[in-house]
């Protein structure tokens, strides 16, 4: 076929046609409509049937390991086992349907990629919608619009050959379906890419719009100065907030705790997928308080507030240990440092509860953080009640 003619032809659809004398290899035939109504064919399969199925199985297993370690979240109101079964169901159904409809055509790496992306992507939309509603909505709406525009462009074009009108229409519909699948698949890949990048290149799925307190504004970080935000910790107000808005409230609380505890370092509040029995943790290297995404979304504001205050107190404990290490020998005997000696020993051989929950729970650093958080939470809600009562008088 001359090069100029190939470039001028319009590619519309594909169908299966085994070549004469070939019993073992299937060819994908692409119909192209030229100005004269002629048709040409091009092989579009790069994998045999067995290889196509094997590739699905291999990449499905590999993607399962990657997804489980990086992006997996339980489906809301479902157990870990149930969530795994739901994910497996999504992946198997999309892969099976893809294999079925592409067995005669598009047996290639792109077909395998799209089938897996649709399965894992659909599960990601289901589980990450409460965290990234705006991103997911934008990607899916954009994919829908692009698919409709492409369908209109293909289906509304005038047919040059009436003889093959029905066949051409059927192939055009097939091409629209395949391209729509590709567009949706790419949008789902973008959603997973953004979600995965948040975990891979940082410890938090979301970043607060409220900045951590600095020396220039630390004196302003009080409950009274932020009462409008603190009032959002009421149950009925908390339920109205998005995940992003809740994170902003918690960052404000962390700023208040930084001032109250006299911390020289900022506190950065983030969100991550944590095990079901972990509500949050503090990392002193980065001064981060990481809250469980499930806790942020489904626990009461009282519980989440308790987590922030608990972890903020751990930062205070680290500062006590630093002060102890920097003090002269005579000053180390001061009463204020007696707890710091205990904290230093416990931080050196910290029990995280993964193997010894009793040992974790009875550590002085955890006991003191629990006591502080309980008092702090009570204080926040007493201040809220006082403010509301003052407003009624």
pLDDT single digits (tens) 69-79: 889 999 988 88
- Residues 6+ positions from 176 with CB-CB distance below 8 Å: 147, 150, 151, 154, 155
Mean pLDDT of the chain: 86
* H-helix or E-strand spanning residue 65: helix 49-70
Structure tokens given for 217: 């504004």
* CA 368 to centroid of chain Cα atoms: 33
* Pairing label, strands 28-33, 268-272: unpaired
Q: Average of pLDDT values for 198-204?
A: 77
Q: Which residues of 72-89 are buried (b: 16+ CB within 10 A; e: fewer)?
A: bbbbeeeeeeebbebbee
**What is residue 246's DSSP assignment?**
H
User: How many whole angstroms separate alpha carbon 36 and alpha carbon 263?
Assistant: 80
Q: What is the pTM of this model?
A: 0.76
Question: Which of 150, 158, 157 lies closest to 175 in space, CA to CA?
Answer: 150
Cα 270 from Cα 286, distance rounded (Å): 11
Q: Where are the beta strands (DSSP E) in the chain?
A: 10-16, 28-33, 268-272, 280-283, 288-292
Q: What local confidence, expressed as pLDDT, does residue 199 receive?
A: 77
pLDDT in tens, 59-101: 999 999 999 988 999 998 888 899 999 999 999 999 999 999 8
Q: What is the DSSP letter of 201?
A: S
Task: Please give the pLDDT value at position 169.
Answer: 86
> Closest by alpha carbon to 55, among 13, 115, 104?
115
Number of Cβ within a 10 Å radius of residue 235: 9
Does residue 186 surpass a pLDDT of 50? yes
Higher pLDDT: 317 or 5? It is 317
Q: Does residue 157 register a pLDDT over 80?
A: yes
Give 149's pLDDT tier (boundaries 50, 70, 90): very high
Q: What share of the chain is helix, strand, coil (3-state, %, to 5)?
A: 65, 5, 30
Cα–Cα distances in angstroms (integers) from residue 305 to residues 170, 250, 381, in the given order: 59, 7, 10
**How many residues would you count in the chain?**
393
What is the rounded CA–CA span in Å between residue 149 and residue 180? 10
Give the residue-averaged pLDDT of 2-30.
41
Residue in 313, 128, 129, 309 with CA at minimum distance from that of residue 233:
309
SS3 268: strand
How is residue 216 written in tokens?
């220039």
User: From start to end of 91-214, where are the E strands?
Assistant: none
Instruction: Label residue 292 by pLDDT band (50, 70, 90).
Output: very high
Phi-psi region of 75 (alpha: psi -120 to 50; beta: other; left: phi over 0): beta
Q: What is the pLDDT of residues 216-273, one digit of tens each?
A: 888 889 999 999 999 999 999 999 999 999 999 999 999 999 999 999 999 999 999 9
Q: What is the Cα Rg of the chain in Å?
A: 30
Is beta strand 268-272 parallel, antiparallel or unpaired with respect to 288-292?
parallel
The confidence band for 393, taking pLDDT boundaries of 50, 70 and 90, is low
């Amino acid at each position: 076929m001359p090069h100029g003619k190939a470039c001028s032809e319009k590619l519309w659809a594909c169908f299966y046609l085994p070549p004469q004398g070939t019993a073992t290899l299937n060819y994908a035939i692409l119909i192209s409509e030229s100005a004269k109504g002629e048709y040409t064919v091009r092989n579009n399969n790069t994998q045999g049937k067995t290889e196509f199925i094997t590739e699905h199985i291999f990449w499905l297993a590999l993607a399962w390991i990657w997804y489980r370690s990086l992006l997996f979240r339980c489906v809301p109101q479902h157990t870990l086992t149930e969530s795994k079964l739901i994910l497996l169901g999504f992946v198997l159904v999309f892969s099976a349907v893809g294999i079925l409809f592409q067995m005669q055509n598009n047996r290639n790496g792109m077909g395998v990629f799209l089938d897996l992306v649709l399965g894992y992507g659909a599960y990601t939309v289901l589980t990450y919608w409460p965290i990234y509603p705006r991103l997911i909505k934008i990607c899916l709406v954009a994919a829908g619009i692009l698919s409709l525009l492409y369908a209109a462009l293909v289906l509304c074009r005038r047919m040059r050959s009436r003889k093959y009108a029905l066949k051409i229409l059927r192939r055009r519909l097939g091409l629209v379906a395949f391209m729509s699948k590709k567009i949706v698949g790419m949008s789902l890949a973008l959603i997973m890419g953004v979600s995965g990048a948040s975990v891979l290149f940082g410890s938090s799925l979301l970043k607060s719009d409220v900045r951590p307190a600095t020396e220039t504004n630390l004196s302003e970080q009080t409950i009274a100065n932020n009462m409008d935000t603190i009032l959002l910790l009421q149950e009925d107000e908390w339920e109205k907030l998005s995940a992003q808005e809740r994170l902003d409230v918690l960052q404000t609380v962390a700023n208040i705790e930084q001032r109250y505890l006299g911390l020289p370092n900022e506190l950065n509040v983030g969100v991550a997928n944590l095990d079901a029995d972990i509500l949050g943790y503090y990392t002193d290297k980065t001064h981060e308080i990481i809250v469980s995404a499930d806790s942020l979304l489904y626990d009461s504001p009282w519980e989440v507030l308790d987590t922030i205050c608990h972890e903020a107190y751990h930062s205070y404990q680290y500062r006590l240990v630093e002060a102890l290490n920097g003090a002269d020998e005579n000053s180390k005997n001061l009463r204020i440092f007696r707890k710091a000696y205990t904290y230093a020993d416990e931080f050196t051989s910290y029990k995280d509860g993964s193997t010894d929950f009793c040992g974790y729970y009875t550590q002085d650093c955890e006991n003191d953080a629990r006591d502080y958080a309980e008092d702090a939470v009570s204080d926040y809600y007493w201040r809220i009640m006082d403010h509301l009562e003052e407003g009624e008088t």
